[in-house]
Amino acid sequence: MNRLTILFAVAAIAAVSACGNNSGKKQKDSAGTTAKEQYLEKDLQIKLDSLVTEISRLGEIPVVAGIENGKVTLTEKEKTVKPEYLLSPSKAEEALTLSLKYRTATMLTIDMAVAGLYGMPVDGYENAISKLLVEIDNPAMSAYLGKDAGQSESTVGDRIKALYDACVKNNTVNLFWDAAVAGIIEQMYIVTNNIDKFMPCFTDATAYEVTLRFVLVHEGIKALISEYPELKNLENALKPLEVINAVNVEQLRSQLETLKAEIRTARNTLLS
């Protein structure tokens, strides 16, 4: 893309572009998914495609100096003020359950990318994430988040699909959703800490069009995870996003401001 996408859309696309659900109690077809799952996945993909199309029409964000070969660079002025909202790599030591390891590894990977944009040290993040991936012991998760992921010839979508397939095969699709929802919440947390930096790229028309499509994507995600009682906590974590339904820039700013505290709470809940 020739412009920076809004992070909440990237989060949704990255987290769910290749996902669905699995349950041994449901009648499966030869591909291992129910007819309802296939419908929900297709419906979500259509909504995601529509969201991507609308995002491509947004204007430039002032803090971005350029984008070349998918690599974002920030202006020198922007890099002088380092973000204070990122997780510390030491958070990895608090992840004692497998669910927490998936969530924490995903969040730290996102924060490491932001730290790198600002020229901050990332060695601590790399070591913490590597430690978590060893403990997770899922090659597909390592391929998705590991330090060599960006060097792979496979696309992000391919790596997400591989992670989802691996979790389905091991009957641990809940762990895939742990990572997916953690990614959505962490990137929304970053957005709500940078509202003033993102708002200039919106007009009233694009604020309406993008948030409308975001609402549809959010509903699609909820439809996929709400069928399973064991994922109720993740559904609750996504609930604050229901505030996003703006029809103009002023409303979008107000809704993001309102969302800031709730996203912080959801983030803390996912990490505890």
Domain boundaries, given as residue ranges, for the chain: 7-270
Backbone angles phi, psi at 19, to 5 degrees: -115, 175
For residue 84, what pLDDT is reported? Answer: 94
> Which amino acid would we find at residue 209?
E
Checking 128-136 for CB contacts under 8 A at 24+ apart, the result is 128/89, 128/90, 128/91, 128/92, 129/92, 129/105, 131/92, 132/92, 132/95, 132/101, 132/104, 132/105, 132/108, 133/105, 135/101, 136/98, 136/101, 136/102, 136/105
For residue 159, what pLDDT is reported? Answer: 73
For residue 187, what pLDDT is reported? Answer: 87
Q: What is the pLDDT along the chain (272 residues), one digit of tens a residue?
A: 333 334 433 443 443 333 433 433 344 443 455 677 777 777 777 877 777 778 777 777 788 877 676 677 889 999 999 999 999 999 999 999 999 999 999 999 999 989 999 999 999 999 999 999 999 998 888 887 866 655 555 666 677 778 878 887 888 888 888 998 898 899 889 989 999 988 888 999 999 998 998 888 888 878 777 766 777 888 888 888 889 999 999 999 999 999 999 999 999 999 98
For residue 3, what pLDDT is reported? Answer: 39
